[in-house]
Structure 1
Amino acid sequence: MAPRANWKGFLRLSLVTCPVALYPATSEGEKISFNQLNQQTGHRIKYLKVDADTGDEVPNEDIVKGYELEKGQYIEVSKEELEEIALESTRTIEIDEFVDRTDIDPRYLIRPYYIRPDGKVGHDAFAVIRETTREMDKVAIGRVVLTNREHIIALEPMDKGLVGTLLRYPYEVRSEQEYFDEIQDVRVTKDMLDLARHIVNQKAGRFEPERFEDQYESALIELINQKRAGKTITPKERPRGENVVDLMEALRRSVSGTASEPKAAKKSVKKPLKKAAGQKEMLMSIQGTKPAKGSSSKKSARSQRKSA
C-alpha cells in the first residue's frame, strides 16, 4: 500500500491539466533511531514549549510565528495571514520550461518525490506530459508549494509515473570560491596522471546501490544486540589514515596492488542486507536469550538497560 500523499493538486502544461498526487520517494524509517532518557530513572525526556522569560508552558493555540527585526523585537504573523498568501503553485504545478538534464547543477537537488495521477480521471493527459518529456529527453521545470514554502521542482519520467525533485533557489547555494580560493595551484605531471588513470580503470564499474551496505547502521545493530545479550562492550581500534610521503611511490604501489588497503575499504565488498527491513529483524531475536512469557515490554527494557 502506497504511503499517504504529501501533496495533491494539478499538473498543467499549457492547457493540458490532470490531477496528481506527490509521494515521498525516500524513507529513513528503517534506520536505527534513539530516544533521549534520564540516566537516573530510565524515563524518556519530554520537551515542552515554554515562555523564554516566565518559564511557563505555552499551549499550541497561543503560539504564533514571529520574524525578528532586531534583538527582542518581532513582527507577528498569524496562520490565517500566511494562508492568505495565494500562490497558484499551492494547488497547481505549472510547467514553466523544459531543460536538458545536464543543465541542473547537482548542488541544487534537495529530495525526490513520486508523482502519479490522482483518481481515475486525467490518466490520458498525464501520459501525454510524461511521454512528451521522455521522447524529447528533457526535464520539466515547475513550481510547487510544500510545507508552506514554494519550491522549484524538476519533473522526469520514470516507468509509468514521474519523479519530481525539489530544487534549491540560488540564494540557498553557497559560492564555491569561499572554500576553493585557498587551494594551491599544483602541477600534476603526465606520469602521475597515467598512474592515476590506471587505478581508475581498475576500479571502474556501474553504480549499483544494492551492493552498498550501511556499515554504521550494521555496527549500531551489533552494538544493541551485544548490550541486549549482556556482553561487555570493548572499543575497537579506529582506522588511521596513511601519511603520504612520496606521491609517485604511493601511486605505483596502488597500481601494482602492493599497497595495503584499510580494513574499512575491504569491508565494502561484503554482500549487502537482502532488504532494508532485515535490519530491524536482526534486532528482534538474539541467540541464546529468550524473554520470559508474560513480562511487560517496559519491565524487560528496564532490566536490560540495567544489565547493559
Structure 2
Amino acid sequence: MAPRATWKGHLRLSLVSCPVRLYNATSSKDRITFNQLHKDTHNRINMKPVDPELGLVERSDLVKGYEYEDKKYIIIDSDDLDNVKIESNHTIGIEAFVDEGEIDPLYLDAPYYLAPDGAMAEETFVVLREALKKAGKVAIARLVLSSRERVITIAPRETGMFVCTLRNPNEVRGTAEYFDNIPVGEPDKEMLDLAEKLIEQKTTEFDPKDYEDRYEAALMAMIKEKLKGHKPVIAAAPERGGNVINLMDALKASLSDSKPPAKSKSKPAAAAAKPKKATRKKA
C-alpha cells in the first residue's frame, strides 16, 4: 500500500514548477502507548466535552474561539478560515538559498520527504534536485500545514528531497536566563587535555541503530511477562557514583577505564569476501 501524502501541491522556483507530494519522514506508530481505563470495569474511558453551565455537550456544537481578552472570545468559523488565503496554501514557493550550516539546529522542527506527483513532474523535479545538490545549498520556502504557514528548508536526499519545517523565532527561547551565571574563562590546561583525550578515545561514527530506546525495550519486556501471567522482574537500577570530589582524579580514572569504541567497518570491495559480523556484547 502506497504511503498517504500529508500535503499535495506544487513546488515552484521562479517560473518553473511541478506537482509534488509531501510525506511524513517519521512515525510513532510503534511507540508504546497506554489507554485510560476504569480501575474496576477495565472499560476504555471516552473523553467528552463538558460546558460548565450545560454539562455534557455534543462535539457538533463546538466552535472555535479566539480569546482577545480574559474570558472574552471572538468566534471563528470555517468560512473565516477559508477566506484567509495565501499563496503557500497550495504552493511551495522557493524564496532563497542558503548554506545548510547557516541554519541553527534549534530552529529545526518536523522532517518530511518530498517526491514528484506523477511521471510528468519527474523531469522538473530531478532538475531542481540536482541543481540543489551541485550548488551545495538548501532552499528556503513557505508551506501551509494544518492551517498554519510554516517556513521550511528543502534539500536533496537520495533520489528525492528532504523537507524540514522551521520553528518560528518567537517559539525559540533566548539563552541569557539559562547561561548568564555560567563562569567564563579557560579551565585548568591539564584537566582540559585529559577531557580532550577522553573525547578522542570515545569518538566513532554515529549509527542510530546503536542507540536503541532502552526504556521502551524494558517496557515491552515487562508487558510480555505480564501477558504470560508472570510477575515482572524489576531490573536493578545501575549504581550511580557519588559527587565528584576531585575532578582531576575522575578524569584520569575515566581515561584509563575507557575503551575506544569499535570503528565502523568500511564497505568491502566487490571482489573481497564478506567479513563475518562480530558478536556485540550487550551492556
Q: TM-score range by the shorter chain?
A: 0.7 to 0.9
| Residue type of the alignment partner of 1:83 | D
| Residue type of the alignment partner of 1:16 | V
CA deviation vs aligned residue, 1:215-267 (integer Å, no higher than 9, x gap): 111101111011112222354333353211100000000111189xxxxxxxx
Kindly, what percent of the aligned residue pairs are identical?
A: 45
User: Runs of 5+ in structure 1 lacking a partner?
Assistant: 260-268, 273-308
Q: CA deviation at 1:185?
A: 3.4
CA distance in structure 1 between the partners assigned to 2:197 and 2:107 by the alignment: 32
Q: CA deviation at 1:205?
A: 0.6
Find the counterpart in structure 2 of residue 209 from structure 1.
208
Question: Is residue 38 from structure 1 mapped to residue 38 from structure 2 by the alignment?
Answer: yes
| Residue type of the alignment partner of 2:98 | V
Q: 1:115 to 1:180 in 2, by over 3 A?
A: same
Q: CA deviation at 1:123?
A: 1.2
- How many residue pairs get matched? 262
Q: CA RMSD in A?
A: 1.8
Q: Is the 8 A contact 1:97 1:141 kept in 2?
A: yes
CA deviation vs aligned residue, 1:41-85 (integer Å, no higher than 9, x gap): 11101111222322122232x221111122221111111101110
Q: 1:196 to 1:227 in 2, by over 3 A?
A: same
Matches within 5 A, 1:43-58: 43-58=43-58
Give the TM-score of the pair, scaled to structure 1.
0.81
Structure (1/2) with the larger strand percentage: 2
Q: Is the 8 A contact 1:213 1:271 kept in 2?
A: no
CA distance in structure 2 between the partners assigned to 1:258 and 1:28 by the alignment: 35
CA distance in structure 1 between the partners assigned to 2:115 and 2:258 by the alignment: 52
Q: CA deviation at 1:120?
A: 2.1
| Residue type of the alignment partner of 1:133 | L
Find the counterpart in structure 1 of residue 66 from structure 2.
67
Matches within 5 A, 1:1-308: 1-60=1-60, 62-185=61-184, 187-242=186-241, 243-257=243-257
Indicate the SS of the match to 2:133: helix
CA distance in structure 2 between the partners assigned to 1:55 and 1:247 by the alignment: 61
Q: CA deviation at 1:181?
A: 1.1
Q: Is the 8 A contact 1:51 1:58 kept in 2?
A: no
CA distance in structure 1 between the partners assigned to 2:281 and 2:209 by the alignment: 11
| Residue type of the alignment partner of 1:124 | E
Give the TM-score of the pair, scaled to structure 2.
0.88
